[in-house]
Amino acid sequence: MDVSVVNLFFTDQSPSVAVSRRGAHSAGMSRKLVCYPPIEEARLEPLREAAAPVEVINAASIEEAFVEIADAEAFFGKITPGLLAAAKNLTWIQSPTASLEHYMFPELIEHPATLSNMRGLFSDVIADHVLGMMLCFVRHLHTYIRQQPHGLWAPVGGEDERQPFAMGPAYVSGMDRLHKRLADCTLGVVGVGAIGAEICRRASAFEMRICGVDSESRRIPGVLEEVWPVDRLPDLLAHSDFVVIAAPQTPATEQMFRMPQFEQMRPDAVLINIGRGAIVSLDDLVAALDNKLIAGAALDVFEVEPLPKDHPLWRMPNVILTPHVAACSVKIPERHLATLLENVRRFSRGEPPLNVVDKAIYDRTR
């Protein structure tokens, strides 16, 4: 995605710095949308067209952002406590990201402005990544890829188990038993939002059995008619061959997966995390793998990123690690811009934005 959008600055200054520089826009001027960090010029023109008659200010510095946000009604970018305190008329804030764990702070949660994010842009891309991970495990592709540089012909189940077809259909070899179909597996999805729902749809195409838990009552017509409440997580863990974490990071989900949850999983189950790293205790996951409480893991997100080079997960043959790339695709930047433009049009027309965030779920005082 566009570096100018994603590499957000966390620099902040006291509102007092901005007070002395205010006055560039009087109270009688048009409605205003402030962007900071600044967006690239190629995106600026379509943004101004979508916003009209709302004025778009592309702040080049944090100092300019402080001045301009004072009388702005809308903001796109990385809002900080100082910027929020300087804003007197703010009614809408658009986050440039889907994840919000590093975006939220108490004053923002309490502020009356509507907050929207970029969720839904990555759902199909991440779902593809998850299906790839599951296919690796049922077909042992990760094992064979590791053998390939060594010229090693070693089928899982053992070469001596290979039998001629003349043995007939009644004979089941070790290789047959250990190479599965996704259709023979149960998928359990933790967090059935936009990403989780797309994972379920793709899994349904592979004829997998599917169950899911979520904090909200949901259904996916034709795929999953009932999503269980979170208190049924133990049931999901007990029945699933693959447990996929697709939940956001909130106070309720942080460290959601520790040793008790791994003990509830099947010993032949695989944990997949494409949600947020803080949801899984890596120390407990390593212990669960060492003690064969679960069969494997596939992770795209981690408690600490980058994952340290000396972390034991790197050396585990039953673990697939990808460096936080599940959401990467050439299509994402254009989707990002399209969502921003649509929400700016809605703001200009006085309509609610897409992807409104329930800020209360990030409140740590509840």
CATH of the domain at 112: 3.40.50.720
Say whether pLDDT at 7 is over 50: no
Specify whether 266 is catalytic. Answer: no
| Angle subtended by helix axes 41-51 and 332-349, to nearest 10 | 30
DSSP 69: H
**What pLDDT does residue 166 have?**
55
| pLDDT tens by residue, 184-228 | 999 999 999 999 999 999 999 999 999 999 999 999 999 999 999
Structure tokens given for 244? 């996929």
**d(C-alpha 126, C-alpha 191), whole Å:** 14
Helices (H), the chain: 3-6, 15-19, 41-51, 62-69, 81-86, 106-110, 123-139, 141-147, 174-178, 194-205, 233-239, 259-264, 282-290, 332-349
Using CB atoms within 10 Å of the CB of residue 73, give its burial: 0 to 12 exposed, 13 to 18 middle, 19+ buried. Answer: buried
135 and 227 inside one domain = yes
**Range 305-325 average pLDDT:** 98
Whole-number Cα distances in Å, 111 to 87, 93, 104? 11, 11, 11
Residue 288 CB-half CA count within 13 A: 27
pLDDT at 229 over 70: yes
* Residue 77 is assigned to a structural domain of this protein: yes
Which residue is catalytic, options 43, 119, 276, 336? 276
3 state DSSP class of 153: coil
In the prediction, which pLDDT does 2 show?
39
Q: Are residues 345 and 230 in the same domain?
A: no
Place 14 in a pLDDT band, splitting at 50, 70 and 90.
very low
Known active-site residue 207: no
42 and 100 belong to one structural domain: yes
**Residue 35 has which token pair?**
């962007």
Asked, as a colleague might, if the bond just before 251 is cis with ω within 30 of 0, I would say: no
Whether residue 292 is contained in a domain is answered as: yes
Average pLDDT over residues 83-103: 96
pLDDT recorded at residue 189: 99
Q: Are 274 and 131 in a shared domain?
A: yes
Backbone angles phi, psi at 340, to 5 degrees: -60, -45
Buried-exposed string 84-107: b where 16+ CB fall within 10 A, e elsewhere: bbbbeebebbbbbbbbbbebbeee
Q: 3-state DSSP call for residue 27?
A: coil
Same domain, 312 and 347: no
pLDDT category, 3, cuts 50, 70, 90?
very low
Phi, psi of 82 (to 5 degrees): -65, -45
Structure tokens at 28: 């009688």
Q: Return the closest-CA partner of residue 79 out of 40, 118, 34.
A: 34
d(CA 282, CA 16): 43
> Does 276 lie in the same domain as 141?
yes
Compute, in degrees rounded to 10, the torsion defined by CA atoms 188, 104, 23, 36. Answer: -50
Count of CB atoms situated within 10 Å of the CB of 279? 22
Active site residue 142: no
The closest of 281, 319, 318 to 303, measured between CA atoms, is 281
Same domain for 133 and 246: yes
Identify whether the C-beta of residue 198 lies closer than 8 Å to the C-beta of residue 160: no
Q: Is the domain of 309 the same as that of 267?
A: yes
CA neighbours closer than 13 Å in the CB half-sphere of residue 317: 8
Catalytic residue among 305, 334, 351, 364: 305
Domain-embedded: residue 3: no
pLDDT at 233 over 50: yes
The structure's pTM equals: 0.88
Beta-bridge partners for 242? 187, 270
From 139, 142, 324, 335, the catalytic residue = 324
Q: What are the backbone dihedrals phi and psi of residue 138, each rounded to the nearest 5 degrees, phi first?
A: -70, -25
What is the predicted pLDDT for the residue at 183?
A: 99
pLDDT in tens, 40-89: 999 999 999 999 999 999 999 999 999 999 999 999 999 999 999 999 99
The per-residue pLDDT for 172 is 77
Q: How confident is the model at residue 17 (pLDDT cuts 50, 70, 90)?
A: very low
21 compared with 334, residue with greater pLDDT? 334
Per-residue pLDDT of 149-195, as tens digits, reads 999 999 999 888 676 655 556 677 888 889 999 999 999 999 999 99
Retrieve residue 222's tokens: 């034709």
Residue 131 has pLDDT above 50, yes or no: yes
Q: How many domains does the chain have?
A: 2
- The two beta strands, 186-190 and 114-116, are unpaired
pLDDT at 10: 32
pLDDT of residue 20 exceeding 90: no
The DSSP bridge partners found for residue 298 are: 272, 320
Say how many Å lie between the first and final Cα of the chain, rounded.
34
Residues 349 and 305 in one domain: no
On whether both 128 and 80 belong to a single domain, the answer is no
| pLDDT given at position 173 | 81
76 versus 366: the higher-pLDDT residue is 76
Reply yes or no on whether the pLDDT at 19 is more than 60: no
Residue 192 maps to a domain: yes
Question: Do residues 209 and 310 both lie within one domain?
Answer: yes
264 and 134 fall within a common domain: yes
Range of the domain at 223: 123-156+180-321
